[in-house]
């Protein structure tokens, strides 16, 4: 059976698109690796309308309650590996099955970038981590390093300075690129030692991480840490959409109606070229994409 719509991803964009599709009584399916996407990684969310403060996991739980109200079913732990359109049908292959749809919304979000240094792969899940919200409590009262200089690195440091014994914040550039209010929090905390102009050279350990080797303007040193959080940015999960136009960062190009260069294929959220990556913006894009898919189907009929 050919679905009216298949939504790829269940972060804020995909969840919102699902709710709108359900309200329009569309025959649709949502395929996703997990629920919440990057929103589930956030500790403090203070800029989502209706909540002066809420944690990322709590906000995702609210999203899920909304989906449950409409009986929306998700194909969890399933990733898309190929997508192409032939005629008026879009063919999707996943790690588990194959599907056909008249319209598709790609809201697959982004994935973490890796450092690519010796020891990183060897010590993944053995001290090297990419999600402070998920793994931070494991390193209570221990020395840790956070690598990065943007909001994600600052957020990770803020979380860990309340958990860890000491936090080394390692930034490859001369200054942070994150929000000033977040910079103030880390710069004024005695637990945080900031290392600007510093490059990670390797990660060391035995069975688990024991240290990190860095170079600060030619001055090399080894830091004794048991946890390392890599927070150097994200890459869009767009590789499977080979026929779509993308920008130099691999983000899917969309217009103001969330339309891609291929009719019937929409994209929403952080996987797109929309300049600001925020939960509220992703949610709005998901709504636009679902309404756009509904209008497209009306014209197709």
Burial class (CB in 10 A: 0-12, 13-18, 19+), 32: buried
Length of the chain: 301
d(CA 175, CA 195): 10
DSSP code for 227: E
3-state secondary structure of 58: helix
Q: Which sequence positions are flagged as catalytic?
A: 131, 134-135
Q: Which two tokens stand for residue 126?
A: 């053995």
List the beta bridge partners of residue 6: 29, 104
Which ranges of the chain does DSSP label H, i.e. alpha helix? 12-23, 56-69, 132-135, 151-160, 180-187, 279-300
List the beta bridge partners of residue 147: 170, 230
Tracing tokens 């510093």 back to the chain, one arrives at: 198
d(CA 203, CA 218): 18
Which ranges of 70-165 does DSSP label H, i.e. alpha helix? 132-135, 151-160
């Amino acid at each position: 059976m050919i679905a009216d719509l298949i939504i790829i991803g269940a972060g804020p964009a995909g969840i919102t698109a699902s709710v709108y599709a359900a309200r329009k009584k569309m025959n649709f399916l949502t395929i996703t690796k997990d629920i919440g996407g990057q929103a589930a990684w956030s500790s403090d969310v203070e800029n989502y309308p209706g909540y002066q403060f809420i944690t990322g996991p709590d906000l995702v739980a609210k999203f899920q309650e909304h989906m449950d109200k409409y009986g929306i079913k998700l194909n969890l732990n399933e990733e898309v590996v190929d997508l192409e359109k032939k005629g008026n049908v879009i063919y999707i292959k996943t790690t588990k099955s194959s599907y056909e749809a008249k319209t598709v919304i790609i809201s697959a979000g982004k994935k973490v970038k890796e450092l690519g240094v010796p020891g990183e792969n060897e010590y993944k899940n053995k001290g090297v981590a990419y999600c402070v919200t998920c793994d931070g409590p494991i390193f209570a009262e221990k020395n840790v390093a956070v690598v990065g200089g943007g909001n994600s690195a600052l957020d990770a440091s803020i979380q860990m300075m309340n958990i860890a014994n000491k936090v080394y914040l390692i930034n490859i550039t001369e200054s942070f690129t994150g929000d000033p209010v977040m910079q103030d929090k880390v710069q004024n905390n005695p637990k945080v030692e900031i290392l600007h102009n510093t490059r990670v050279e390797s990660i060391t350990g035995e069975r688990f991480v024991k240290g990190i080797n860095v170079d600060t303007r030619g001055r090399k040193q080894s830091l004794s840490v048991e946890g390392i959080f890599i927070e150097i940015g994200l890459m869009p999960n767009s590789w499977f959409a080979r026929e779509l136009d993308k920008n130099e960062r691999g983000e899917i190009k969309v217009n103001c109606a969330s339309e891609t260069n291929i009719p019937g294929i929409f994209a929403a959220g952080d996987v797109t070229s929309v300049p600001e990556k925020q939960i509220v913006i992703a949610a709005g894009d998901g709504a636009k994409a679902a309404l756009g898919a509904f209008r497209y189907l009306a014209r197709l009929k």
